[in-house]
Amino acid sequence: MEKRNSNIALWIGCGLSIVCSIVLFILVLSGDKAETKETKTTAAVKKNKTLSSDGLKVAYINTDTVMAKYQMAIDMEKDLQDYQKRLKNELESKLKKFQTDYENYMKNGANLTLTQQKQTEQDLTKRQQELPQLEQQMMLDLQERQVADNKKMLDAVYAFIRDYNKKHQNFDIILSKSYLGSPVLYIDEGMDITNEIVEGLNKEYEEYKKEN
Predicted local distance difference test score (pLDDT) of residue 120: 96
Predicted local distance difference test score (pLDDT) of residue 138: 96
| Three-class DSSP category at 89 | helix
Predicted local distance difference test score (pLDDT) of residue 137: 96
Domain ranges of the chain: 2-48+62-211
Contact 5, 77 (CB under 8 A): yes
Predicted local distance difference test score (pLDDT) of residue 3: 44
Choose among 177, 154, 185, 192: nearest CA to 76: 154
> What is the mean pLDDT for each group of 10 consecutive residues in the chain (212 residues)?
44 42 38 41 32 70 95 97 96 96 95 95 96 96 96 96 88 90 85 95 94 86
Contact 26, 139 (CB under 8 A): no
How many beta carbons lie within 10 A of that of residue 56, not counting itself? 12
Q: Kindly provide the residue ranges of all beta strands, DSSP E only, lying in 12-126, ordered along the sequence.
A: 58-62
Predicted local distance difference test score (pLDDT) of residue 54: 58
Q: How many angstroms separate the CA atoms of 13 and 63, rounded? A: 7
Residues comprising the chain, all counted: 212
Q: How many angstroms separate the CA atoms of 147 and 152, rounded? A: 9
Contact 67, 150 (CB under 8 A): no
Q: What is the dihedral of CA 65, 69, 70, 73, to 10 degrees?
A: 90
Q: How many angstroms separate the CA atoms of 101 and 99, rounded? A: 6
Q: What is the pLDDT of residues 65-101, one digit of tens each?
A: 999 999 999 999 999 999 999 999 999 999 999 999 9
Based on DSSP, count helices (H) and strands (E) in the chain, helices before strands: 6, 2
Contact 75, 4 (CB under 8 A): no
The model's pTM: 0.67
Predicted local distance difference test score (pLDDT) of residue 187: 86
Predicted local distance difference test score (pLDDT) of residue 184: 82
| Three-class DSSP category at 124 | helix
